[in-house]
Copies of this chain bind each other. A is one copy, B any other.
Amino acid sequence: MTQVFNFSAGPAMMPKEVLQQAQAELLNWQEQQTSVMEVSHRGKLFMDLITQAEQDFRQLYYIPENYKILFLQGGARGQFAAIPMNLIGKKNKALYLTSGHWSATAAKEARLFCEIDEINILDQDPELKINRLDFSDIAEQYDYVHYCPNETISGVEIFDIPKVGNTTLVADMSSTILSRKIDISQFGIIYAGAQKNLGPAGITIVIVREDLIGNARQETPSIWNYAVQAKSDSMINTPPTFAWYLCSLVFKHLLKQGGLEGVEKCNQEKANLLYQYLDESSFYKNNVVKNNRSLMNVTFTTGNDELNAKFVAEATKAGLQALKGHKVLGGMRASIYNAMPIEGVQALIQFMKKFEAENN
């Protein structure tokens, strides 16, 4: 049986150890003879689980004490709406820095709720590259500034943190959360759908500085009102308990792996290996400038649609799954989130070499 590696951009690969534990105890969690998904979210055992999960996540990601952590429903797309509902205040205007599909989609959703200014920080000539990130001269006109540090579709990552003076900085970190160390204290809010580095689809983490809680406008659904959820342990209604449980197992797994330092080092190694090979090859091309290459989503193309399709088909047969690029961009994309072992990247490169030799 060929070993399979899943390069899906999300829902993405989960750590195998986590799935194995979930499988082993699926019908008998904590000696209760019931599944974790069948027990009350307000029972002692589940409350213990979420307390530990929060502790582990705080420790892993170095989250300062003046930040609350919420576990919500609705995905990052839900937060695209919740952010303006909770943050728009006296200035009645927000600034969205756009760098690709997801930051632009966040801006579009926010426009449903307030006035939005948009600045495209992506330079596309000759390669995808992020422009200047200092907005301290204009930021004070806005209630907040929003950006997306990793554009999953194009594979563009923004490593520098935008300068926004005293204005609140908000980041959609769905595809970069827990992949590397970041200075949380520079952000007002960080949010992320779980389905890349945290757990399965269906749960969304919001890290929010306490002073930003409590200013939601009246017409904010309770489940997204940060004040309501912060006061209720993210349980104003029944939470997605099984997804929460899986996140808790992922946190434990990452701590065991040496925490964020170990994770970041491994992610660097994986990405370096793949980009180095891409740069050496004259057959494949990655269109992102070196300083903005994503650690999580590596895009590449042969420059020929037919050949790309052949690549994806043969890779799938060889056990390298979900390498087709997003339809917006075409080509190929290898998502190498935390759960992807370095062996997966090595197997991909080996296959790429073979394909190059056969098709050059």
A77 part of interface (Cβ distance < 8 Å): yes
Contact of A78 among B13, B200, B223, B322 (CB under 8 A): B223
Closest to A239 in B: B201
Q: Which of A298-356 contact B (CB under 8 A)?
A: 319, 321-322
Question: Are A40 and B322 touching (Cβ within 8 A)?
Answer: yes
CA distance A260 to B35 in the complex (A): 25
Q: Is A259 an interface residue (CB 8 A)?
A: no
B residues in contact with A35, CB < 8 Å = 14, 19
Question: Of B16, B37, B80, B219, which contacts A112 at CB under 8 A?
Answer: B219
Q: Which residues of B contact A22 (CB under 8 A)?
A: 26
Q: Tell me the bound Cα distance from A243 to B23 in angstroms.
A: 15
Q: State the Cβ distance, A24 to closest chain B Cβ, in Å.
A: 9
Docked CA distance A39–B82 (Å) = 27
- Contact (A221, B109) CB under 8 Å given A201-B241, A243-B240: yes
B37 touches A26 (CB 8 A): no
Shortest beta-carbon distance, A120 to chain B, in Å?
22
Closest CB of chain B to A278's CB: distance in Å?
23
Are A237 and B200 in contact (CB-based, < 8 A)? Answer: no
Residue of B nearest to A28 (CB): B4
Q: A75-B223, A220-B112 are in contact. Are A27 and B19 (CB under 8 A)?
A: yes
- Taking a contact as CB atoms under 8 Å apart, the answer to whether A236 and B4 are in contact is no
Given contacts A11-B241, A76-B237, contact A81 B222 (CB under 8 A): yes
Interface residue? A162 (CB, 8 A): no
Q: Given A78-B221, A78-B223 in contact, is the A193-B243 Cβ separation under 8 Å?
A: no
B27 touches A20 (CB 8 A): yes
CA distance A19 to B34 in the complex (A): 10
Chain B residues contacting A222 (CB-CB under 8 Å) are: 77, 80-81, 109, 112
Q: Say yes or no: is A262 at the interface (Cβ < 8 Å to chain B).
A: no
Interchain CB contact under 8 A, A113 and B219: yes
Minimal beta-carbon separation of A162 from chain B (angstroms): 25
Q: Does A218 contact B (CB under 8 A)?
A: yes
- Indicate if A30 sits at the interface (CB-CB under 8 A): no
Question: A178-213, CB under 8 A of B: which get 1 and which 0?
Answer: 000000000000000101000011110000000000
A353 to B81, CA, bound (A): 54
Known: A8-B39, A26-B23. A219 touches B219 (CB 8 A): yes
CB within 8 Å of B: which of A78-124? 78, 80-82, 109, 112-113
Residues of B within 8 A of A6 (CB): 34, 38-39
Q: Are A242 and B243 in contact (CB under 8 A)?
A: yes
- Closest CB pairs A-B (n = 10): A202-B240, A81-B221, A77-B237, A4-B33, A37-B200, A23-B26, A75-B237, A73-B73, A201-B238, A202-B202
